[in-house]
Chain A
């Protein structure tokens, strides 16, 4: 009895903010935009958008991998410093997060524009301006910049929890510093890598503002298409159908990642 009463707030929250919106999305996805009758037509448009889906996955996977490559050394370095320093460093890391996502992206626009800060600098050096903006690279850069903290935080948490004595045990058994890393630290940080990649990939694959600002029509991502169905194309039913597909995709993705880290999970609590 006590138990179910404690569950009440959670149940209400889930109903109002998850189940009902989900129901609405499913309803729209399976109804016709004009008549409101049941239809599968919205979902049959999917293959038109397949290239965009694939591009979204590619761009966000690339961002995740870059975030991992950049974030791991950063997280590792922070985890190695003195505890007092650690708090300062992880706060600095979170600092850009206090600024609006839109502002952060616009800041990059100002940097990369054809007449932006970087290109003016390049011109001042007497060189030809570079086409920095409106490319896959610019979109990936925007995503890496925006989502990097989501990678570093779980990595840092896991790395910080690794027992110093395990490192000493490895050295004791003959490991040089490279072997300590590959044999002990890297395997023990797999759960952090998995949750970091998930936390970057999921918001990246569904993001809709970055590619509009930093990309070109050739870099449109699925999030942008969904947004436009609601805001400019006035076809919420198609938008809902695309959202539904994306949601299923993300769920499969999370499920896959979790299975991967479950094997490691029990191992993390010695």
Chain B
């Protein structure tokens, strides 16, 4: 990964007095694949539009290669964008859409043709040159949009949920394809998505956002294994989040029991949130268990079962390959590495409780069943 390329400092954006971005601080390195991840409306597109030059921030600085570019118009930035819904030119065919930027840059037609052909190969659209873009499938349009941006060899490519409209299968293929292109061409990608799996599998760095604020920045593994607060823990994968008290370094108490853990640096008896990932929990015979509870629901998920276990009225989600019948008493053990301790935050108590599990979790499947 190269040197720092873009830096956002105290970036704030207001629309009609409503704060949409609230003090964003972020730097992006050359050749990095950075993903902005967050729920709908958290300000991902707004951040991207500020970097692209389509919005001027209310306050704060955008720097590119050390230069402040707050007021530089989009056409003078070495940045290209793949828009949320492609925005292909409907009056031009595939070839002319891809060649658009090169023609504006007044390259000679021989060079243009060479680069467009090269791009058509990269996105596997050879033979589609003279198709109307309106006659393409969603996946093909999306590839034209990527080619149209990449052909200009920008320093930075902004991608706003480029795979949002595709079906699962095509999505997976394109994820690999994009990652491959990014590595082959060595372009910095700033990628927006609200799909956590996509973010985890593609990114060098993930920026988790909510309500216009950055919640956490880190490598995918760090974000997953050491979420900073209940929001991040819940948004990235499934989490059981419990109230606990940090007794001393490496010792946390919850459910009235003391557990060893790997976390330190809290004040004595500080109230904390404790995260336990559903796939980290193993069943043991009740005699050897730290905690015992009753199975209240089980759902087959393909790779694993999602099992809800009631511990003293608090329900946990446990993911395992072992089938457990409803009503059975089960025991679990928690090893120190299964326990992750977080500081209390505004999100404490809002996430990580599976008490209403069956109602919220399976509604799609059940509705289908009812109608059939």
Quick check: is B83 within 8 A (CB to CB) of the other chain?
Answer: yes
Given contacts A168-B54, A172-B52, A173-B80, contact A264 B91 (CB under 8 A): yes
Chain A positions within 8 Å of B149 at CB level: 172-173
B104 contacts A175, C-beta separation under 8 Å: yes
B74 → chain A closest CB, angstroms: 4
Chain B nearest CB from A189 CB (Å) reads 10
Chain A residues near B132: list those with CB within 8 A: 266-267
> Size band of the A side of the interface?
20 to 34
1/0 contact trace for B72-86 toward A, CB 8 Å?
A: 011100011101010
Number of interface residues of B (CB under 8 A): 26
Q: Is A262 an interface residue (CB 8 A)?
A: no
With contacts A168-B54, A266-B132, A270-B134 known, is A173 near B90, CB below 8 A? no
Q: Which of A56-64, A102-110, A117-125, A180-188 contacts B (4 or more CB under 8 A)?
A: A180-188
Which A residue sits closest to B145, measured CB to CB? A169
B87 interfacial by beta-carbon distance below 8 Å: yes
Tell me the nearest residue of chain B to A270, going by C-beta: B90
Q: What is the CA–CA distance of A42 and B104 in the complex, to the nearest angstrom?
A: 58
By a CB distance below 8 angstroms, the chain A residues around B105 are 174
A residues near B100, Cβ cutoff 8 Å: 170, 173, 183
A160 to chain B minimum Cβ distance, whole angstroms, is 16
CB distance from B106 to the nearest CB of A (A): 10
CA distance A264 to B52 in the complex (A): 30
B87, A166: Cβ atoms closer than 8 Å = yes
Knowing A174-B105, A267-B132 are in contact, say whether A188-B87 is a contact too (CB < 8 A).
no
Residues of chain A lying within 8 A (CB to CB) of residue B83: 165, 168-169, 172
Cβ of B152 < 8 Å from any Cβ of A?
Answer: yes
Choose one: B80, B85, B88, B90; the contact of A172 (CB below 8 Å).
B80
How many angstroms from the CA of A184 to the CA of B52 in the assembled complex?
19
Q: Are B54 and A187 in contact (CB under 8 A)?
A: no
Decide yes or no: A188 and B134 within 8 Å by CB, A171-B74, A173-B80, A173-B148 being known contacts: no
Contacts A169-B87, A187-B91, A270-B90 supplied; 12 other A-B pairs, CB < 8 Å: A165-B87, A166-B90, A168-B54, A168-B81, A172-B80, A172-B83, A173-B100, A173-B148, A174-B152, A184-B91, A267-B90, A270-B134
Q: Please report whether the interface of chain A is mostly helix, strand, loop or mixed according to DSSP.
A: helix
* Binary contact readout A254-270 vs B (1 if CB under 8 angstroms, 0 otherwise): 00000000001011111
Q: Indicate if B128 sits at the interface (CB-CB under 8 A).
A: no
Residue A163, interface by CB 8 Å: yes
Q: Which residue of B lies closest to A172 (CB)?
A: B81
Please indicate the chain A residues that have their CB under 8 angstroms from the CB of B104 in the complex: 173-175, 179, 183
Within 8 A of B (CB), among A133-173: 163, 165-166, 168-173
Chain A neighbourhood of B54, CB < 8 A = 168, 171
Chain B residues in 8 Å Cβ range of A175: 75, 104
In the complex, A19→B75 CA distance in Å? Answer: 57
* Interchain residue pairs with CB less than 8 A apart (5): A166-B87, A173-B148, A173-B152, A174-B105, A269-B90
Interface centre among B53, B74, B133 (most CB of A within 10 A): B74
Would you call the interface of chain B mostly helix, strand, loop, or mixed? mixed
Instruction: Decide if A4 is an interface residue (CB 8 Å cutoff).
Output: no
Q: Does B101 contact A (CB under 8 A)?
A: yes
Complex CA gap A234/B134 in Å reads: 57
Would B89 and A172 count as touching, CB distance under 8 A? no
Assess whether A168 is in contact with B74, with CB atoms less than 8 Å apart.
yes
**Does the CB pair B134–A169 fall under 8 Å?**
no
Q: Separation in Å of the A269 CB from the closest CB of chain B?
A: 7
Q: Which residues of A contact B148 (CB under 8 A)?
A: 173
List, in ascending order, chain A residues with CB within 8 A of B73's CB: 171, 176
- In the bound assembly, the distance between CA atoms of A184 and B101 in angstroms comes to 12
Q: How far is the CA of A161 from the CA of B104 in the complex (A)?
A: 24
Q: Point out the residues of chain B lying under 8 angstroms from A267, CB to CB.
A: 90-91, 132, 134
Considering only CB atoms, which chain B residue lies closest to A176 in the complex?
B75
CA distance A210 to B11 in the complex (A): 62
Residue-wise interface mask of B (142-165) relative to A, using a CB-CB cutoff of 8 A (1 in contact, 0 not): 000000110010000000000000
| Chain B residues within an 8 Å CB radius of A165 | 83, 85, 87
Report B-chain residues with C-beta under 8 Å of the C-beta of A187.
91
B134:A266 contact, CB within 8 angstroms? yes
A169 touches B75 (CB 8 A): no
A173 touches B87 (CB 8 A): no
A69 to B81, CA, bound (A): 34
Which single residue of chain B is at the shortest CB-CB distance from A169? B87
Query: Is the pair B89, A169 in contact by a Cβ cutoff of 8 Å?
Result: yes
**In whole angstroms, how far apart are the Cα atoms of A188 and B90 in the complex?**
8
| A169: chain B residues within 8 A (beta carbon) | 81, 83, 87-89
Q: Mark B104-132, 1 if CB is under 8 A from A, else 0.
A: 11000000000000000000000000001
Bound Cα distance from A268 to B80, whole angstroms: 25
Query: What is the chain A residue whose CB lies nearest that of B134?
Result: A270
**Could you tell me the distance between the alpha carbons of A187 and B100 in the complex, rounded to whole angstroms?**
14
**Contact status B91-A173, CB under 8 Å:** no
Contacts of B74 in A (CB 8 A): 168, 171-172
Which residue of chain A lies nearest to B81 when distances are taken between CB atoms in the complex?
Answer: A172
Q: How far is the CA of A83 from the CA of B81 in the complex (A)?
A: 27
Report the separation of the CA atoms of residues A173 and B52 in the bound assembly, to the nearest whole angstrom. 11
How far apart are the CA atoms of A168 and B80 in the complex, in Å?
11
A45 to B75, CA, bound (A): 62
- Which residues 61-83 of A have a CB within 8 angstroms of B? none
Measured CB to CB, the nearest residue on chain B to A174 is B104
With a cutoff of 8 Å between Cβ atoms, the chain A residues found around residue B152 in the complex are 173-174
